[in-house]
Structure 1
Amino acid sequence: MSTALVWFKRDLRLRDHAPLAAAAQHGAAAGLFVIEPAWLASPECDPQHVATTLQCLAELRAGLAARDLPLLVRVGDVPAVFDELRRTVAFSHLLSHEETGTGWSYDRDRAVAAWCHARGVVWHEWPQTGVVRRLRSRSGWAAQWARRMDAPEVAQPVGYAGAAFDPLELHALPTLHSLGLPASRPLPPAGEAAAWRTLHSFLAGRGRDYRRALSSPITAPDGCSRLSAHLAFGSLSMRSVHQATEAAIAATPDRQLAYGLRGFASRLRWHCHFMQKLEDEPAIEHRNFARSCDGVRGGGRDRLREVLPDTPPEQERLEAWCAGRTGYPMVDACMRHLCATGWLNFRMRAMLVSFAAYHLWLDWRAPGLFLARQFLDFEPGIHWSQMQMQSGTTGINTLRIYSPARQAAEHDPTGAFVRRWVPELGTPAYPQPIVDERRALAFAKETLYGLRRTPEARAEADAVQQQHGSRKAGLPPSGTARRRTRTASTQGELF
């Protein structure tokens, strides 16, 4: 009799779950989630990520129990946990989704592959996004994405045979305290039920003003889908979101709602587009896409201070940016909002990174790690690709330098957002601008545009475009016939 272990990672749901469906074909099965020390110790991990995971696991465990599938939750290195379990139940098959994650998860998966090979355990993996393993060329990628997203959802099994795993103790779910972590900031509801409520409310009406609302930090919290964290933790699948959105577009008589949802649907493709970059080149988590940018920022040399000696040192600039005390009100308001809530709309995220990269001349890695801890919806592929794109180190994307004053004028015209988050503005308690904007940007533009004009940088840009650049999608706008084509903008707001 074959015995299967479903290894949950960032796929904490019942619906549209291929490993769960496959487990029903085995004589006995159980689920497993491992809280890994490598994750807890990683510089991207924050208590809010762990607390959200625990919320998802509590709901998932109850849902699986109703189908007679036990969900084991263990703390430890994955191969060691597998060894412990096999001393009681010699499972023959390991079932999981593929994962495109940070370096520690890649190393973990390699160790798991070696463990399975040494013990004769058959490991089956299924894709759960549009990311393609071992992709040879980006040509045709969009069509592959469409085929996956248009395929029927995987049916949910009614029940399982789990008797072989009965000797194993389920154990109570750990707590942040038992894991040695501090308390989390307040969190929105997590889990599959909350994910579907959020999706339905967006498709039923919140999405009506999506295109207009998504740019302002005032209107975006309600006007955006707010699905990004649910997708990051896998409490619903990208395919489910895609198909539910297309169905809502086709069914609604509300033309304004359909227009808003079509804008949202087009951006779902870019979610996987950016993740594909990390899958194809994992090193972009740590180094520049364009190696011609190596050493331009950081590396122990503070080039901005060499040009502007009255500028504070690099570490002070980073700390002021992280604390929301740069003296630029819109930047500080957005950072404080993010640190308090764990979410910020895409345009304001881009402004924060732009300010760090161009005004403060900071290398993207340290700001990126800080933001990864603040974003509840941290998704490695999107995060590191966007950090580099907004910092001008991809070699192929236009340098987009956001003016904080212009963003405030356009997206907070009454100043309500800034007054809420920077109440000390206009008093001696609020700092003066940390850098001279005009001179700092002149230095940034001269440096980067000069670099991009070199033959070496131009040649490298061609190679980056060939490997990572978008292609004409070969896809129609959502809700129209497949014969039409369009090219989407890589600057689309992500949820």
Structure 2
Amino acid sequence: MKESKNALNIVWLKRDFRLEDHEALYQASEDEDHVLLVFCYEESIYSDAHYSDFHLDFIKQSLVEMNASLQTFETKVLSIQAEVIPFLDWCKAKFGQIKLWSSQETGLNLTFQRDIRVGQWCKTNGIEWEEFQNNGVIRGLKDRSTWSADWGKFMRRKIKPINLHNTNFLSLTQIEQFETNFKAFGTSTKPKIEVQKGGHVQAKFWLDTFLESRHEGYNRHISKPVGSRLHCSRLSPYIAWGNISIRQIYQQTVQRKKEIKDKRNLSSFMSRLRWQSHFIQKFEMEPRMEFEAHNKGFLNIGYEHNEKYIKAWKKGQTGFPLVDASIRCLMATGYVNFRMRTMISSFFSHLLFQHFAEIGPWLARNFLDFEPGIHYPQLQMQSGLTGYNTVRIYNPTKNAKDHDPEAIFIKRYVPELRNLPPNLAIEPWTLTAMESELYEFDLERDYFLPIVDMAEARKIALSKLYGHRKEPLAKKEKERILNRHTIPRRDNSWNSK
């Protein structure tokens, strides 16, 4: 055990609930002074509409697992209900000398402003705050000319082992002094069978089983609402909340690719690892995407708020079975696959022609894997507000026929349609009078009429979106966005050598 000079190293956990490949913890552990891991449940943050019990339970489960691992070292994560600055004030008064360590966070404006205030507090109080790069996101970039190469270097860099045995952690007894001055953040949760559980052990389980065999159906099932639940990696919540790093996943996947003959599924998976960082990098460089159109030429596109549409969409009562099944599944489990996410977003923004900001927070609190840096750039893209991406208006009926032809997913989450044959469960508005009598099903009584005429709504949306693309400002913004965010072609330096 190192001898302490009675100062304190505070490792502030935000979205990095792990004890491996954690640069802030590694650097703090190398210091001879005491080390304290802390999570602050900040009411000002977690009461925001973007967060829900899905997220808090996942955090709690992650903390429980971390504390189980830390028992060997007679320490734990201090988990309290407190705003960060009052907590730091108390630590400074208690210890005199403190140092703050954390991972960089590409978050909402809410957390960004919080971090600015923390930075100002540190500067005013002469406190050193060290932040470290998180996954493949790089702060301060002006364009993407070197991003792919930098991303690849970061992913291939050797992971530094953290010597927890030799870290000068505060003891459980010492941590009790903190707990008497702050309200504890309870970590008990009620298990939910359909919702993934947080923690590094769970992350490793999903990664190991995916690389062992589940990846074999990755490309075939990635768009299927049922098959994707097994054959996609399902690592997204563990990445979003930092139970495992992208680098850990990348390096283990590279090793597994060397061991198998058919590398196509894992190659596809690895490309999506990079795209994960790519979207967060976009948000890091232009965080205003949380609130308004990425392409400023679309700021006045003319959305008309329709409360009836919004409520029906949020309840899964649009009259389009695959849309409703996806919404209800999301509310129940915190997960739907990427294809269903893009479809329900496109349906809202295009066919209902509503502004993405109306559902941004709602979707966030229902996505267990809510990651601000992916969430808002994706909503922008699926809404057609970039001015350069192809406008994709997903047809929910075609998608149901292509990806849920037996209506297994639809019937699971829209039980009103359970007694209909697959073709009618997908298109219940096509029932004839005879079929309605045969199946004892009335569309208006037992389900919902389609909320819009899909063909007409699609025509209107395309006219408005492509019409705006011709505007001078939209064209100018398109060039600005492409110059700033486009990754150079033929840049394969991110890939494994």
Distance 1:379 1:473, change over 3 A: farther
Whether 1:167 and 2:159 are equivalent positions in the alignment is: no
Q: Which of 15, 18, 22 is matched with 2:20 structurally?
A: 15
Q: Which of 6, 10, 18 is matched with 2:11 structurally?
A: 6
Q: Equivalent residues in 2 for 1:304-383 (5 A)?
A: 314-383=306-375
Whether 1:223 and 2:231 are equivalent positions in the alignment is: yes
Q: Equivalent residues in 2 for 1:261-340 (5 A)?
A: 261-298=266-303, 301=304, 314-340=306-332
Q: Which of 194, 201, 207 is matched with 2:202 structurally?
A: 194
Counterpart of 1:225, as a letter, is S
**Residue equivalent to 1:156:** 162
**Residue equivalent to 1:487:** none
Deviates more, 1:434-443 or 1:184-193: 184-193
Cα distance in 2 for residues equivalent to 1:24 and 1:113: 22
Counterpart of 2:317, as a letter, is R
Q: Give the Å deviation of 1:173.
A: 5.4
Cα distance in 2 for residues equivalent to 1:421 and 1:137: 44
Cα distance in 1 for residues equivalent to 2:410 and 2:68: 43
Helix, strand or coil for the counterpart of 2:164? Answer: coil
**Residue equivalent to 2:452:** 435
Contact 1:9-1:33 within 8 A present in 2 as well = yes
Counterpart of 1:151, as a letter, is R
Counterpart of 2:266, as a letter, is L
Q: Give the Å deviation of 1:100.
A: 0.5
**Residue equivalent to 1:485:** none
Whether 1:210 and 2:218 are equivalent positions in the alignment is: yes
Distance 1:393 1:163, change over 3 A: closer
Contact 1:288-1:294 within 8 A present in 2 as well = yes
TM-score (norm 1): 0.89
Distance 1:476 1:211, change over 3 A: farther
**Residue equivalent to 1:308:** none
Distance 1:270 1:202, change over 3 A: same
Cα distance in 1 for residues equivalent to 2:271 and 2:248: 15
Deviates more, 1:315-324 or 1:450-459: 450-459
Gaps of 5+ in 1: 303-313, 483-495
Deviates more, 1:345-354 or 1:72-81: 72-81
Q: Which of 80, 89, 95 is matched with 1:89 structurally?
A: 95
Q: Which of 250, 255, 259 is matched with 2:258 structurally?
A: 250
Residues 251-280 of structure 1: per-residue CA shift (max 9 Å, x gap): 22xx33x22111101110000100011111
Residues 14-52 of structure 1: per-residue CA shift (max 9 Å, x gap): 111111111222221111111111222211001110111
Residues 359-389 of structure 1: per-residue CA shift (max 9 Å, x gap): 1001001122211111000000100000010
Helix, strand or coil for the counterpart of 2:451? Answer: coil
**Residue equivalent to 1:121:** 127
Sequence identity percentage: 34
Deviates more, 1:108-117 or 1:152-161: 152-161
Q: Give the Å deviation of 1:473.
A: 5.6
Cα distance in 2 for residues equivalent to 1:268 and 1:405: 30
Distance 1:233 1:215, change over 3 A: same
Once superposed, what is the RMSD of the aligned Cα atoms? 2.1
Distance 1:187 1:295, change over 3 A: same
**Residue equivalent to 1:493:** none
Contact 1:4-1:28 within 8 A present in 2 as well = yes
Q: Give the Å deviation of 1:86.
A: 2.6
Distance 1:206 1:434, change over 3 A: same
Distance 1:297 1:35, change over 3 A: farther
Cα distance in 2 for residues equivalent to 1:177 and 1:52: 11
Q: Which of 21, 28, 53 is matched with 2:59 structurally?
A: 53
Q: Give the Å deviation of 1:212.
A: 0.7
Deviates more, 1:401-410 or 1:424-433: 424-433
Distance 1:15 1:443, change over 3 A: same
Distance 1:147 1:177, change over 3 A: closer
Cα distance in 2 for residues equivalent to 1:186 and 1:204: 23
Helix, strand or coil for the counterpart of 2:106? Answer: coil
Helix, strand or coil for the counterpart of 1:472? Answer: coil
Q: Give the Å deviation of 1:136.
A: 2.0
Which structure shows the bigger proportion of residues in helix conformation? 2
Q: Give the Å deviation of 1:476.
A: 6.0
Deviates more, 1:35-44 or 1:80-89: 80-89
Helix, strand or coil for the counterpart of 1:104? Answer: helix
Contact 2:98-2:127 within 8 A present in 1 as well = yes
Distance 1:294 1:184, change over 3 A: farther
Counterpart of 1:315, as a letter, is E
**Residue equivalent to 2:144:** 138
Cα distance in 1 for residues equivalent to 2:193 and 2:213: 29
Helix, strand or coil for the counterpart of 1:358? Answer: helix
**Residue equivalent to 1:455:** 472
Counterpart of 1:374, as a letter, is N
Contact 1:217-1:344 within 8 A present in 2 as well = yes
Distance 1:165 1:201, change over 3 A: closer
Deviates more, 1:261-270 or 1:57-66: 57-66
Q: Which of 36, 56, 72 is matched with 1:66 structurally?
A: 72
**Residue equivalent to 2:265:** 260
Distance 1:29 1:48, change over 3 A: same
Cα distance in 2 for residues equivalent to 1:53 and 1:177: 11
Cα distance in 1 for residues equivalent to 2:43 and 2:242: 21
Cα distance in 2 for residues equivalent to 1:338 and 1:78: 32
Cα distance in 1 for residues equivalent to 2:35 and 2:13: 13
Distance 1:93 1:438, change over 3 A: same
Cα distance in 1 for residues equivalent to 2:384 and 2:187: 38
Distance 1:123 1:477, change over 3 A: closer
Contact 1:177-1:183 within 8 A present in 2 as well = no
Contact 1:142-1:473 within 8 A present in 2 as well = no
Q: Give the Å deviation of 1:64.
A: 2.7
Distance 1:346 1:297, change over 3 A: farther
Q: Give the Å deviation of 1:333.
A: 1.1
Distance 1:185 1:102, change over 3 A: farther
Cα distance in 2 for residues equivalent to 1:32 and 1:350: 36
Q: Which of 402, 414, 417 is matched with 2:406 structurally?
A: 414
Contact 2:36-2:170 within 8 A present in 1 as well = no
Counterpart of 1:138, as a letter, is R
Cα distance in 2 for residues equivalent to 1:456 and 1:4: 50
